[in-house]
Amino acid sequence: MNIGIFSGSFDPIHVGHMIIAEHICEFAGMDEIWFSVSPRNPLKSAEGLSDIKHRVAMLKMAIGNDTRMKYCDVETKLPVPSYTADMLDVLKAEYPQHSFSLIIGGDNWNIFDKWYRHEYIAENFGLLVFPRPGCKTNTIPENGKVTFCDAPEMEISSTYIRKYAGMGRRLNYCVPPGVMDYIIDNGLYR
């Protein structure tokens, strides 16, 4: 099978993530999308990052019963901070029957050269790059399997949701069903 790996902080997961995942599944030849919650991104500050158990719970809620979407726990078992290249190596070893492509936004594409073993990732795994508002993604590497997806540009962000959820605002239509209640019930982003 062709598997798209969508890794991120998902703090919280929102409808934009799910729309992108569905679009890539439907239009980029992926059989399934495996979501991986990054315990701590080495290129971002860990300050204010919600506990991984909350981020995983919200992700599983978002996936619900959609059989095309899966939660992948490989990254949570790696040393922190985790590196995408290491996670992809583990997946390749554990599931040699599958072909893996990494899903990233245009914002990450623009800093992809700062990623640990980025050339290795580009050469050995497919990259599916979705557009992000304000990010031009027209630079194509000489090596690697990079596809720029014609996916919708999503203005919504986890930062936006954290800000307004922290102010006590309900943003039910910005997050998948049940996620806003989970945020409130667990006092997240206060």
C-alpha angle 42-43-44 in degrees, rounded to nearest 5: 95
Q: What is the DSSP letter of 76?
A: G
Whole-number Å distance between alpha carbons of 54 and 117 = 29
The predicted pLDDT at position 154 comes to 86
Provide the strand spans (E) within 38-177.
69-71, 99-105, 126-130, 145-148
What pLDDT sits at residue 60?
98
Instruction: Give the model confidence (pLDDT) of 17-69 as tens digits.
Output: 999 999 999 999 999 999 999 998 776 666 779 999 999 999 999 999 999 99
The DSSP H or E segment spanning 17 is: helix 15-27
- The pLDDT assigned to 80 comes to 87
Q: What is the pLDDT of residue 143?
A: 61
* Amino acid (1-letter code) at residue 81: P
What stretches in the chain show pLDDT beneath 70? 43-46, 137-144
pTM above 0.75, yes or no: yes
